[in-house]
Structure formats: structure tokens, C-alpha cells
Chains A and B, each alone.
Chain A
């Protein structure tokens, strides 16, 4: 039996910053072939939290239409600070996002490296502390590093979002051992695997490990049929969650018949 699931509440609602989140699939809104497909994919996924961003306003009109579409979904909005390379940039971006989207939630990204898009953990902790002090509810995009995780929590974070694999790679869980360790180390903290998902099985695996939710974008947006893939990820997340709550069997080294041995025909104890 898994130790963690015994500590869970009897109900299976995910609560983050005092908000009950219906679906454990958090979905990004970028890179879809068209607004219509994005709209249909969000509906098909069953998500209750979508990530958005803000960018320089080059052409008026499109951005406002996008915002109206997001509002029509009736889901929670989680603005990101994607592309920010310093705590200062991330903090200012978060402040602009709070005004634009009218939410204290922010997916905090402080990026350290262009090739891996890995988090700058030092800048992340610094920005998280400042934003928390300003009343933000910070969702930090981090790694599996336990020391950084503890610093983030001390900075005020009530949820942690370790990467599965680098953003956009679709490689799934690159380090399941470290993710399992993190899960066991923080049994009561909402943990979300963010980034790197490529297939629904990756998301199901994260949920089977006991993660509270997964956040992904590219795997759905770049699928041949994004709408159907959104549905597939929604199913996978629910399946993985049910599996974790149910308690997975322990693997065994040797085969053991599943059909009863007693009463097997043609089996004679006298010979």
C-alpha cells in the first residue's frame, strides 16, 4: 500500500490556495492551429485551470478576442511569466498579469538557460518571496530539487510545480526517481508536474506517482487532432488519479498464477 494516499482526505478534491480545483489537468492555451480548435480542445479536456501569458501588444483586436474566449470558459486563469530571465522581469510581469487577468494566481517562471529552459532556482526563490509578500498566490515552475522546494515554501508558496522534462520536449518524466522522492518528501503539499509531457501515459504515470495534477500544453496543441488528444489527456489524468487513490499492487519478482491452483483439473497429488 502506498503510504501517501492514506494521508489524503476522504474527498478527492484538489485545493490550491483555498480554491477547489475540479479537474487535475491544467492546460496551456498556446500553439493551437486555430482559436476554434483551442476552444474545442479546452472544452474536451474538462480542465478547470488554463494558463495564459501577456505579450507586447502589436496589433489591436486579437488579444481582446482571446481574452473574451478565455472568459467564456468559466475556468480559473493562471497567467505565466514565461520568458522572464530575472526576478525583476518576472515580478513586473506578474504585476501586469494581475491587473490584466484580475487574479492573484501566477505561474512563476524565471528561466536560466535557453537550451533547456530550466528554472533559475535562485531567481525563482527571490521572485517568489517578493510576489508572496505582495499578496500573489505563486505557482513556481521548479525542478525536483528538495532544497529549492523548501526555500520556495518558506517564501510563501503553497504549491510546487516540478518539471517532468524540459518544456516542449514531450519526453515524459525524465527523472521518476526524483519525482517520487519529492512526492514522499512533501506528502501534504499540492504538487503539479509541469512541462515535458508528450503522451497521455506520461500524465497517467505522474498521477500514479501521487502527483496532484499535471500541467501541459504542447502535447495537446501539436497533436494531429488536438481536440481528441485533449480528451485523451483528461481521461489519462483521471485514470492515473484513480489508480493512485486505489493503491497500486507491489511488483513481484516471480510469476504467481492469478487463477486458483486448487481444483486444477488433471492435477494429481498421488503421483
Chain B
């Protein structure tokens, strides 16, 4: 029961627990810009939203992450 064990584990106080693209993640990044770089996207062509709200590329550095935030990182994909 990994889930229970995870819940019993004290999270690192230096890390923020949030979700990225629907998956739980602990991060030391304090802003969306840092998180995008932490995940290795660098200058890749991506777009972002936090808690359902669009965050423009130019606003990522000012977007502070908090526990429980839901981060979406999307890229171009085939579509109909």
C-alpha cells in the first residue's frame, strides 16, 4: 500500500507538493518558471496553466507556486 505509506511520510519541509499534468510531484521550485526549467523544458515550445488559469510565458517568473497547485504543461500535438 504505497499510498498509505506515502501519506505517513512527512514531506520535506523545503519542498512543495503539487500536481504536474495530473501527477503528484514534490518540487523545490518556487515559481512556475523555475519548475519549467527543473523539468527540463528550457526553451521548448510549451504553454502553461495553473489551477485552470492560463499563465503566459512572460508571467511564469512571477507565478509563485503553492502546495496543492495544479500545473499544466502542454505542447503542440496532432489534432482533428
A residues neighboring B (CB under 8 Å): 28-32, 38, 51-58, 60, 63-64, 66-67, 70, 79-80, 82, 88-89, 92, 95-97, 99-101, 167, 195, 217-218
Of the A-B pairs whose beta carbons lie under 8 Å apart in the complex, a sample of 8, sorted by A's number, is A29-B79, A38-B78, A52-B77, A55-B77, A56-B74, A57-B75, A92-B52, A95-B47
B47 is contacted by which of A54, A89, A195, A217 (Cβ under 8 Å)? Answer: A54
- How far apart are A253's CB and chain B's nearest CB, in angstroms? 41
- How far apart are A72's CB and chain B's nearest CB, in angstroms? 13
Interfacial chain A residues near B56, Cβ < 8 Å: 99
B80 is contacted by which of A31, A54, A55 (Cβ under 8 Å)? Answer: A31
> Does B40 sit within 8 A of A, measured CB to CB?
yes
Given known pairs A56-B72, A60-B41, the reply for A51 and B79 (CB within 8 Å) is: yes
Known: A28-B80, A64-B76. 5 other contacts (CB 8 A): A53-B77, A56-B22, A92-B49, A96-B74, A99-B56
Q: 7 nearest interchain CB pairs? A: A53-B79, A28-B80, A217-B80, A63-B75, A96-B47, A95-B54, A57-B75
Complex CA gap A97/B49 in Å reads 11
Given known pairs A56-B21, A64-B44, A96-B54, the reply for A80 and B49 (CB within 8 Å) is: no
Count B interface residues, CB 8 Å.
Answer: 24
Decide if A100 touches B46 in the complex (CB within 8 Å). yes
B residues neighboring A (CB under 8 Å): 21-22, 40-41, 44-49, 52-54, 56-57, 72-80
- How far apart are B62's CB and chain A's nearest CB, in angstroms? 16
Given known pairs A56-B73, A57-B41, the reply for A30 and B78 (CB within 8 Å) is: yes
Given known pairs A58-B21, A64-B44, the reply for A100 and B80 (CB within 8 Å) is: no
Interfacial chain B residues near A54, Cβ < 8 Å: 47, 74-77, 79
Interfacial chain A residues near B47, Cβ < 8 Å: 54, 95-97, 99-100
Decide if A100 touches B54 in the complex (CB within 8 Å). no
Complex CA gap A101/B46 in Å reads 10
A80 is contacted by which of B40, B45, B54, B79 (Cβ under 8 Å)? Answer: B79
Interfacial chain B residues near A101, Cβ < 8 Å: 76
- How far apart are B16's CB and chain A's nearest CB, in angstroms? 20
Decide if A67 touches B76 in the complex (CB within 8 Å). yes
Complex CA gap A54/B79 in Å reads 8
Interfacial chain A residues near B54, Cβ < 8 Å: 92, 95-96, 99
Given known pairs A89-B52, A97-B47, the reply for A167 and B80 (CB within 8 Å) is: yes
Decide if B21 touches A96 in the complex (CB within 8 Å). no
Interfacial chain A residues near B79, Cβ < 8 Å: 28-30, 51-54, 79-80, 82
Given known pairs A92-B49, A96-B49, A96-B54, the reply for A60 and B78 (CB within 8 Å) is: no
Decide if B77 touches A63 in the complex (CB within 8 Å). yes
